[in-house]
Chain A
Amino acid sequence: MASIANDLPVASTHPRWLIPAALLAIAYLVIPFVGTSYLFEAILLPFLALSLAGVGLNLLTGYAGQVSLGSAAFMAVGAFAAYNFNLRVEGLPLVASIVAAGLSAAAIGIVFGLPSLRLKGFYLAVSTLAAQFFVQWALTKFGWFSNNSASGVIDAPPLGVAGIGFDSAAGRYLFALTVVTVLTFLALRLVSSQTGRNFIAVRDNDTAARIIGVPVLRTKLLAFAISSFIIGIAGVLWAFAYLRTVEPAGFNLDRSFQVLFIIIIGGLASIRGAFFGAALIVVFPLVLSRLGAFFLGDIFDSGVRDMSQRIVLGGLIILFLVLEPDGLVALWDRSVRRLGSVFGRS
């Protein structure tokens, strides 16, 4: 159980909460004052939204062992549900629309989780594809979802809680950060609870789990519901805080794969892994593209540069996975341990 070992705290002298707390302090107290709009709009907002989607999928795939290719569909459900709750229910506060959107995504998640009672592994992955295609089809087919907007694209409403607006770049960042922090905290609590242990039991051997008294059916559906709830809210952040516009095609199969890659690269069955993976998927292509433009900008046009970045990125992902199949989070822990022992000796 390498993945369980991953989540054991690294043997160290400082308390376990120190690093997250320090990161949060920087995220809240420093970044909003020093960040540029590029940092918020192009890096941190997509990073936060995709990290949250990764956390959601990791609960389902990493902890409960149910492979899903429908993440983008649940993101879409969340985004469109939040839009419609906000539009159609007069006076509903934004936070309430967001929670309702998460619940809608959870309901759809349960429906498409039903096949998991009979299917496993690749077969289940293929059946979650149905969610991907069905949701996108339904959102395009019925104009009601996009308020009969001519092109099917809808505008995000202004962000605000209790009369305080969050519409600047830094404001949307703080809003997203708060949502992600709260949900990540809840996810952390969940995986160390009895339910979290049930997830892992079902993943490792569902027959054995049933024998020791884990309600397998309920656990699987619960995993789908909770995971979809979180992914749905990630969809709201993606649409409302990051892009500020929603269209069904933005939540296509590519996005589902992106979220899946985030948790595989970051580390399965690790909440931190989702953040590592999202950082790599979001930030790394941008760094490569900047470097490419800086060094090769005069020689090749942007098309050639973009193609070569993909090759480099693909190669690096393969390299990472060969060197460390347990993901970036394992790589990180090992580096920290090594550094710790080096400094410990000197």
Chain B
Amino acid sequence: MTILNKFKTAALAAGVALTIALPAAHADEQYFPLQSYRVGPYAAGGTGFFGGFIDYLNLINTRDGGVNGVKLTWSEAETQYEVERGVEAYERLKSNPNVAAWNPLSVGIAYAMIDRITADKVPLITINHGRTDSTDGRVFPYVFPLLLNPYSETSGIVNYIASKEGGLENIKGKKIVVLYHGSPYGKETIPIYELLAEKYGFELQQIEVPHPGNEQQSQWLTIRRAKPDYVVLRGWGVMNPVALKTAAKTGFPVDHIIGNVWSNSEEDVIPAGDTAKGYTAITTQASGTEYPVVKEIVSTLYDKGQGNLEDKNRIGSVYHNLGIVNGILNVEAIRIAQEKFGKRTLTGDEVRWGFEHLQLDPARVEALGAKNLFHSINVTWDNHEGNGYVTFQQWDGKKWNVVSDWIAPDWALLRPIIEKSSEAYAAEKGIKLRTAEDAEAATN
């Protein structure tokens, strides 16, 4: 065999291998690029959230054969919650066809993607976090801080504290300390707390905990001197259990600490042990496995060894359920868009239209098997948050128990502040405000 022949054989073999390796081209698929993080300091959040998200997509494929016959596909790239890895993952994954939406679960990565996804015309979902003013769909057509943006969360927490005191008029003169994570995420709410303090007349002190927050002695000594009525914990990752333990050490009562939406998971309280008993935190989705959709995921996937979480004890945990809710919202947006554009693979812009009509009332949520898992959502072309409701849960040492009704944040109060910020952004970037007609048209 001459060398040339050898080359020919090798090339032929490679060609055959390539043909086999390439998946047979499915006409109807919708692809989710997942910039996940399963290692690094925030892995607990990443594995739970992306586990729940993948579990739900898998459930839709296994149970229903996809969304109206359109199969859901996905692949993951590790970001470790770092911006430059997130950008690399974005560039790597975006070459896949039929991208439905991006869900990076990181404020920093989301910020870096806004220009890029706007140029690509594909939606970017930042459930329960993200840039507050991206709520304004007139300026940010492709960004969706679904369910709860940081300002709504703040308003929900203040309203809850007020309800414990017997009404908003009673928090006048009370003292609240906000202990926040020293990151873009942590700082996002500084101005809104100041504004609410002025409006309702409570005393406010905001204290930063430098990332990652594993040493908080001095912050809690300051708190002890200040003697506040409540401490709002706006933490992330390791900062939360350390805060609870240090609070116990300095003698601050744990039932007067209110956690925000990223300080509300099992991973935040279990490491703190007994000191976390009685700690209350806000959430948009309840934890637990009693909801029909979670039960179905267990019976369809985990019982057959196809679940995404390695540790089955985490099924129904806060992050896992948030991932499931995120899955529901993404899938329903596709379903809604399919009603208009046809039951086929959609373009990113068509999925964007679906998100802008993502209106799930409590009856629809119940039909999806998620009654009491989350309340409802009502996204429109100019309100990309969709007025999610919040509830409060208390940790009893073993599990979270819901201790409030579904509470509505004060959206009417927040909207003008959000518009002021988004309009300033539009002016700086030279963006023309979108109208309802612009939003109705979706390009291929």
When the two chains form their complex, are residues B108 and A249 in contact, meaning their CB atoms are under 8 A apart? yes
**Residue from B47, B131, B184, B208 in contact with A249 in the complex, judged by beta carbons closer than 8 Å:** B184
* Binary per-residue interface labels of chain A (26-45) against chain B in the complex, 1 for a CB within 8 Å, 0 otherwise: 00000000001110011000
A152 contacts chain B at the CB level, 8 A cutoff: yes
When the two chains form their complex, are residues A245 and B83 in contact, meaning their CB atoms are under 8 A apart? yes
When the two chains form their complex, are residues A247 and B80 in contact, meaning their CB atoms are under 8 A apart? no
Q: What are 9 A-B contacts defined by CB distance under 8 Å? A: A42-B91, A150-B187, A151-B107, A152-B184, A155-B114, A155-B115, A302-B38, A303-B43, A306-B78
**Inter-chain contacts of B413 with A (CB < 8 A):** none
A151 to B190, CA, bound (A): 9
A286 to B87, CA, bound (A): 12
User: In the complex, which residues 58-90 of chain B have their Cβ closer than 8 Å to any Cβ of chain A?
Assistant: 76-78, 80, 83-84, 87-88
When the two chains form their complex, are residues A38 and B91 in contact, meaning their CB atoms are under 8 A apart? yes
**Inter-chain contacts of B114 with A (CB < 8 A):** 155
Using CB atoms and an 8 Å cutoff, list the residues of chain A in contact with chain B: 36-38, 41-42, 46, 140, 150-153, 155, 242-245, 247, 249-250, 286, 289, 293, 301-307
Using CB atoms and an 8 Å cutoff, list the residues of chain B in contact with chain A: 36, 38-39, 43, 47, 76-78, 80, 83-84, 87-88, 91-92, 95, 107-108, 111-112, 114-116, 131-132, 182-185, 187-191, 208, 211, 421, 428-429
When the two chains form their complex, are residues A150 and B190 in contact, meaning their CB atoms are under 8 A apart? yes
When the two chains form their complex, are residues B187 and A250 in contact, meaning their CB atoms are under 8 A apart? no
When the two chains form their complex, are residues B132 and A306 in contact, meaning their CB atoms are under 8 A apart? no
Interface of B, helix, strand, loop or mixed by DSSP: helix
When the two chains form their complex, are residues A42 and B88 in contact, meaning their CB atoms are under 8 A apart? yes
A152 to B116, CA, bound (A): 20
**Inter-chain contacts of B78 with A (CB < 8 A):** 289, 302-303, 305-306
A42 to B85, CA, bound (A): 9
A249 to B131, CA, bound (A): 17
When the two chains form their complex, are residues A37 and B191 in contact, meaning their CB atoms are under 8 A apart? no
A150 to B429, CA, bound (A): 17
Tell which of A41, A244, A286, A302 has the most Cβ of chain B within 10 Å: A302
When the two chains form their complex, are residues B115 and A244 in contact, meaning their CB atoms are under 8 A apart? yes
A328 to B115, CA, bound (A): 37
When the two chains form their complex, are residues B132 and A303 in contact, meaning their CB atoms are under 8 A apart? no
**Residue from A155, A245, A301 in contact with B429 in the complex, judged by beta carbons closer than 8 Å:** A155
**Residue from A151, A243, A293, A302 in contact with B184 in the complex, judged by beta carbons closer than 8 Å:** A151
**Inter-chain contacts of A140 with B (CB < 8 A):** 182, 187, 208
When the two chains form their complex, are residues B132 and A150 in contact, meaning their CB atoms are under 8 A apart? yes
Tell which of A245, A250, A307 has the most Cβ of chain B within 10 Å: A245
**Inter-chain contacts of A303 with B (CB < 8 A):** 38-39, 43, 47, 78
When the two chains form their complex, are residues B91 and A306 in contact, meaning their CB atoms are under 8 A apart? no
A307 to B189, CA, bound (A): 34
A153 to B188, CA, bound (A): 10
Known contacts: A46-B84, A302-B36, A303-B38. The answer to whether A247 contacts B108 by CB under 8 A is: yes
When the two chains form their complex, are residues A243 and B112 in contact, meaning their CB atoms are under 8 A apart? yes
- Name which residue of chain A comes closest to B211, CB basis: A249
**Residue from B39, B182, B184 in contact with A306 in the complex, judged by beta carbons closer than 8 Å:** B39
**Inter-chain contacts of B421 with A (CB < 8 A):** 150
When the two chains form their complex, are residues A151 and B187 in contact, meaning their CB atoms are under 8 A apart? yes
For the complex formed, measure the closest distance between the CB of A261 and the CB atoms of chain B, giving whole angstroms: 16
A155 to B108, CA, bound (A): 11
- Name which residue of chain A comes closest to B308, CB basis: A301
**Residue from A41, A46, A152, A242 in contact with B187 in the complex, judged by beta carbons closer than 8 Å:** A152
A42 to B108, CA, bound (A): 17
A37 to B92, CA, bound (A): 9
A155 to B43, CA, bound (A): 27
A108 to B346, CA, bound (A): 52
**Residue from B116, B188, B429 in contact with A151 in the complex, judged by beta carbons closer than 8 Å:** B188
**Inter-chain contacts of A242 with B (CB < 8 A):** 84, 87
**Inter-chain contacts of A41 with B (CB < 8 A):** 87-88, 91
**Inter-chain contacts of A250 with B (CB < 8 A):** 83-84, 108
**Inter-chain contacts of A286 with B (CB < 8 A):** 88
Q: Kindly list 15 other residue pairs between chains A and B, CB separation below 8 angstroms, not including A153-B107, A249-B211, A302-B36.
A: A38-B91, A38-B95, A46-B84, A140-B182, A150-B187, A151-B131, A152-B183, A155-B111, A244-B116, A249-B184, A289-B77, A289-B78, A302-B38, A303-B78, A306-B80
When the two chains form their complex, are residues B38 and A245 in contact, meaning their CB atoms are under 8 A apart? no
A46 to B87, CA, bound (A): 11
